[in-house]
């Protein structure tokens, strides 16, 4: 997967004509004439919006807690366990029954990606076990993704492994069935070689500007000629936002 990439999960905008691959949230339309990747938060909730005056939107923290409280990891206080960095609830994939129920909820989301015209899916938080307070091991995340990928493939969608290279290694491709990888900050963390070992040139490297430009420059020099490498602002702001930052090799 080599072509100029634009990561737009923080808000859509018209990509440059030279962009070949666009990644957007599942609730946003894809871009005609591009290879479109559909972002889907598969193992955690989406955060609640700042304006919560209306009913909770499907897939948000409040929606999961209200509609499917049994599928959200709870702490000792009975409240949902929250990924504090992004204000997202951790979904409970600790048993086969719960994994099946969560997938049934997400199947229409996957179908929606296909129906909208996306060609691939980026399922996020494949390492949610790290934030589950010991409720389940990585194997539960992996088993959920095996079923998730199988279903997405049945709908004609490719699926990318989002991070978690330490846990998956080459098994992400050979056992789970991921088709490519999206690696955040693999240059900064010196992990790009591990993705290349599993996926060849079929990975996307996203470096973030708050870590400085050195990792991005190093990535461009090391693998920018044969893999997609970009620099983005941490919150992936749309182009009209003052925080927006985007650069490619």
- Computed on alpha carbons and rounded to an integer, the radius of gyration of the chain in Å comes to 18
In the DSSP assignment, the letter for residue 125 is -
Q: Domain range holding 135?
A: 5-248
Q: β-pairing, 158-162 with 120-123? A: parallel
Please give the C-alpha separations between residue 36 and each of 6, 51, 148, 199, in angstroms, as whole numbers.
10, 29, 19, 19
Tokens of 196: 């290349």
- Strand order from edge to edge, sheet including 35-40: 5-7, 21-25, 35-40, 120-123, 158-162, 180-184, 203-208, 228-232, 246-248
Instruction: Give per-residue pLDDT as tens, 95-152.
Output: 999 999 999 999 999 999 999 999 999 999 999 999 999 999 999 999 999 999 999 9
Q: What is the pLDDT of residue 51?
A: 65
Tokens of 141: 């995340």
Q: Tell me the whole-structure pTM to 2 decimals.
A: 0.96
Q: What is the pLDDT of residue 214?
A: 97
CATH of the domain at 12: 3.20.20.70
Q: What is the pLDDT of residue 169?
A: 94
DSSP string, 132-198: TTTSS-HHHHHHHHHHHHHHHHHTT-EEEEES-HHHHTTHIIIII---EEEEETTTTTT-HHHHHHH
Q: How many CB atoms lie within 10 A of CB 108?
A: 11
Instruction: Give per-residue pLDDT as tens, 71-108.
Output: 999 999 999 999 999 999 999 999 999 999 999 999 99
Instruction: Give per-residue pLDDT as tens, 30-63.
Output: 999 999 999 999 999 999 887 665 667 899 999 9
Q: What does the pLDDT average to over 192-208?
A: 97
- The total of structural domains in the chain comes to 1
């Amino acid at each position: 997967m080599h072509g100029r990439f634009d990561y737009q999960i923080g808000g859509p905008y018209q990509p440059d004509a030279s962009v070949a691959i666009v990644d957007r949230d599942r609730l946003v339309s894809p871009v005609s004439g591009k290879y479109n990747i559909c972002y889907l938060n598969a193992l955690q909730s989406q955060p609640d919006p700042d304006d919560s005056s209306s009913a909770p939107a499907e897939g948000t923290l409040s929606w999961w807690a209200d509609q499917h409280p049994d599928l959200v990891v709870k702490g000792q206080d009975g409240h949902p366990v929250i990924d504090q960095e992004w204000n997202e609830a951790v979904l409970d994939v600790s048993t086969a029954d719960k994994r099946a129920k969560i997938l049934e909820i997400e199947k229409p989301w996957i179908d929606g990606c296909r129906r909208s015209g996306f060609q691939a899916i980026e399922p996020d938080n494949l390492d949610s076990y790290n934030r589950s307070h010991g409720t389940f091991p990585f194997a539960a995340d992996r088993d959920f993704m095996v079923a998730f990928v199988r279903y997405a493939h049945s709908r004609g969608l490719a699926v990318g492994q989002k991070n978690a290279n330490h846990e998956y290694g080459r098994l992400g491709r050979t056992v789970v069935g991921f088709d490519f990888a999206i690696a955040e900050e693999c240059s900064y963390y010196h992990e790009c070689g591990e993705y290349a070992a599993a996926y060849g040139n079929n990975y996307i490297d996203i470096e973030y500007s708050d870590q400085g430009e050195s990792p991005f420059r190093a990535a461009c020099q090391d693998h920018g000629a044969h893999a997609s490498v970009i620099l983005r602002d941490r919150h992936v702001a749309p182009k009209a936002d003052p925080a927006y930052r985007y650069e490619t090799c």
